[in-house]
A and B are shown apart, each in its own frame.
Chain A
Amino acid sequence: MIAVRNLSHRIGGAPILTDLTLDLPKGGITAIIGPNGAGKSTLMGLMARLLPIQEGQVEVDGHCVARTKTEALAKRLAIVTQRVGVASRLRVGDLVGFGRWPHHHGRPRPEDHAAVERALEAFDLLELRGRFLDELSGGQNQRAFIAMGLAQETDWLLLDEPLNNLDMYHARALMARIHGLSRAGVRSVVMVVHDINYAAAWADHVVALKDGKLDFQGAPREVLTSARLSELFGMKIGVEEIAGRPTVLHHA
């Protein structure tokens, strides 16, 4: 479980997160939703110690993020940020290989190579493994970074808007892959998604943020209602039940 307790964050005096308390359940997929600027990325950054915690506390499986050594945390939790940044000139295979670095610190063992192969294969990157990152499309680049996070093989995998640049095929493949891992009880995945239908289809738990505060949370079937979503995004949003799950018809 990731336990967030009374977490507040300010940037230049402006409140970004205010007194946030929530539990992200172990196992399964948690989807974080909310309008732009709600503080989703900030929350992910604080949970993954990319940002220093100013007020409050975050515990990952009982380990306080602020007090755990960064090397140790890298074996428990992997994060793929929203902006993976301007690419280094690394080969895809080498980049994914660095996902194993927290485990071997420069001396890869056979299991490290095997993990890299699995991650490359899962993201359809075997053919691209020899290509340089700065010679890839945005979506291919993103898949390479997600594969690096996956190769880290941590209990927790945090993905900030992983579907952004992906086509339908690869978006579905990614969701199916992490769904399989989370079902098998191997990983717990926390992801920021904008397409509510992905959350409805794949997530076990939904957390909605608005203006740096918790708006609602719960199982998708219970919380993804027209009333709640309309209030969250400040627009009329219709929700229909299709194939047994809530489906947002935002073009209607």
Chain B
Amino acid sequence: MSRPLLLTCLALAGLVAASLCVGAASVSPLQLFSDPEGVKLLLLSRLPRTAAAMLSGASMAVAGVIMQLLVRNRFVEPGTTGTVEAAMMGLLAVTMLAPGTPILGKMGISAAAALIGMAGFLALIRRLPPEEPLMVPLVGIIYSGIIGAGTTFAAYQADLLQYLGTWMNGEFSGVLAGRYELLWLAGLVAGLAYLYADRFTIAGLGETASIGLGLNYAQTLWIGMVTVSVVTAMVVVTVGAVPFVGLVVPNIVARIMGDNLRASLPVMAGMGAGLVLASDVLGRIIRFPYEIPAGTIFGAVGAAVFLWLLLGPKPRVR
């Protein structure tokens, strides 16, 4: 096991313990495992909540790095390029037109919308000059702003504005057993991406280098896009997207470990899980017994890190 991976796992273990023990209901660690009420709390709420934070963090970090390799730009993630907004638009459309649709159906339509949104973004940036890498995230922000504005307007018309907030800003206080299990599927999809780690790394070298190595570039692009869309939609539907996870985590890990996904993907997943879980635990502690959504905490810190990555010293531009 590589050293970064080992450190990530250790940190994760500590965070899981903290997450199981911290919460509005004051229960001692001992009671959690012995007292029947404590066990119930653990199984119904604390464990699902911990799993939900970890799964969404891990899968969004993986989605982020896949998108970065396919776009060949470090400054993109589903939340800054219109993919999250498109997923929300799809979800809003089902909620308005067929509110009775089962959750898997809603997720499917949301994923399809996310895929279309991502394809639109890729088509848009094809025309950008390669020597101006900062244009890509800027165009992404404008593009996502346009889709987001359309979604907000539709939600306003339908009086569904309050939904948008929950889809956009990941929050785990409502997670209970039976209401988050779709996230295991998101984790599974992100895990399956590991089978394609080499292919995504090669795609990151560009289309001509990929063809030269005999990679089926179009197929790799499609598999990557479907992975990103499905993960994004599942997270949006269940707990809401946590902004900047897909951007911050891959950037930090790539600085240390580089772009060889076979080595770095497990660390990225672990760090995504850990940082989102840490945000959630912090959110429970800061204004105890009230809670601050994990997405708010990560969003604030992540925005600062994003700006630093863009404008800070020695930007690593692809």
Residues of A within 8 A of B (CB): 45, 48-50, 70-75, 78-81, 84-91, 94-95, 98-99, 101-102, 105-106, 132, 134, 149, 152
Contacts and interface: CB of A to CB of B under 8 A. Distances in A.
11 contacts: A48-B212, A78-B212, A79-B212, A81-B208, A85-B206, A85-B209, A86-B130, A86-B317, A86-B318, A88-B318, A95-B205
B234 to A, nearest CB: 27
A114 B172 CA distance: 51
A70 B259 contact: no
Interface of B: 72, 130, 133, 198, 201-202, 204-206, 208-209, 211-216, 254, 258-260, 316-318
Contacts of B215: 70, 101
B201 A90 contact: yes
A102 B259 contact: no
Which of A78, A79, A98 has the most CB atoms of chain B within a 10 A radius of its CB? A98
A88 B70 CA distance: 12
A101 B198 contact: yes
A94 B258 contact: yes
Contacts of B216: 70-71
Contacts of A85: 205-206, 208-209
Contacts of A84: 209
Given A70-B216, A106-B198, A89 B258 contact: yes
Nearest to A104: B198
A73 B214 contact: yes
Contact of B318 (A73, A80, A87): A87
Given A50-B211, A86-B133, 6 more contacts: A48-B212, A71-B216, A84-B209, A88-B318, A90-B259, A95-B205
A78 B211 CA distance: 10
A94 B198 contact: no
A31 to B, nearest CB: 21
B135 to A, nearest CB: 14
Contacts of B318: 86-89, 134
A85 B208 CA distance: 10
- The 8 A-B residue pairs with the shortest CB-CB distance in the complex, in nearest-first order: A74-B214, A71-B214, A102-B214, A89-B259, A89-B258, A94-B260, A88-B259, A85-B206
A84 B212 CA distance: 12
A98 B201 contact: yes
Contacts of B130: 86
B214 A70 contact: yes
Contacts of A91: 258, 260
Contacts of B258: 89-91, 94, 132
A234 to B, nearest CB: 30
Contacts of A105: 198
B212 A101 contact: no
B259 A72 contact: no
A74 B213 contact: yes
A90 B198 contact: no
Contacts of B206: 85
A95 B208 CA distance: 15
B315 to A, nearest CB: 11
B208 to A, nearest CB: 5
B260 A101 contact: no
Nearest to A49: B211
Nearest to B217: A70
Nearest to A48: B212
Nearest to B211: A50
Contacts of A75: 214
A88 B203 CA distance: 10
Which of B201, B208, B209, B316 has the most CB atoms of chain A within a 10 A radius of its CB? B209
Nearest to A74: B214
A90 B205 CA distance: 9
B208 A101 contact: no
Which of B198, B214, B317 has the most CB atoms of chain A within a 10 A radius of its CB? B214
Contacts of A45: 208
Contacts of A102: 213-214
A88 B133 CA distance: 13
A24 to B, nearest CB: 18
Nearest to B196: A106
Nearest to B197: A106
Contacts of B205: 85, 88, 90, 95, 98
Contacts of A98: 198, 201-202, 205, 213
A48 B212 CA distance: 7
A89 B316 contact: yes
Contacts of A80: 212
B250 to A, nearest CB: 11
A90 B260 contact: yes
A214 B317 CA distance: 40
